[in-house]
């Protein structure tokens, strides 16, 4: 393989762009997992805030 062929292959797909459907799916899953982790961390922070940060209304019967 010559240097020209190597350069052409390197330029075919820009860096950071998914090359196949499987890679595109992996990127979407990675983003979804990251968002899920952020939501869960926010939930934990909200719960540790105590009763003042609670969205629940008290039961009027007891």
Structure tokens at 35: 């968002």
pTM higher than 0.85: no
Domain residue ranges of the chain, discontinuous segments joined by +: 19-46
23-60 residue pLDDT tens: 999 999 999 999 999 999 999 999 888 765 455 566 66
CA distance 2 to 9: 11
């Amino acid at each position: 393989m010559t240097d020209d062929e190597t350069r052409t292959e390197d330029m075919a797909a820009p860096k950071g762009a998914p090359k196949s459907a499987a890679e595109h799916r992996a990127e979407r899953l990675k983003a979804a997992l990251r968002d899920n982790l952020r939501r869960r961390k926010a939930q934990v922070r909200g719960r540790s805030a105590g009763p003042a940060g609670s969205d629940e209304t008290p039961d009027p019967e007891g």
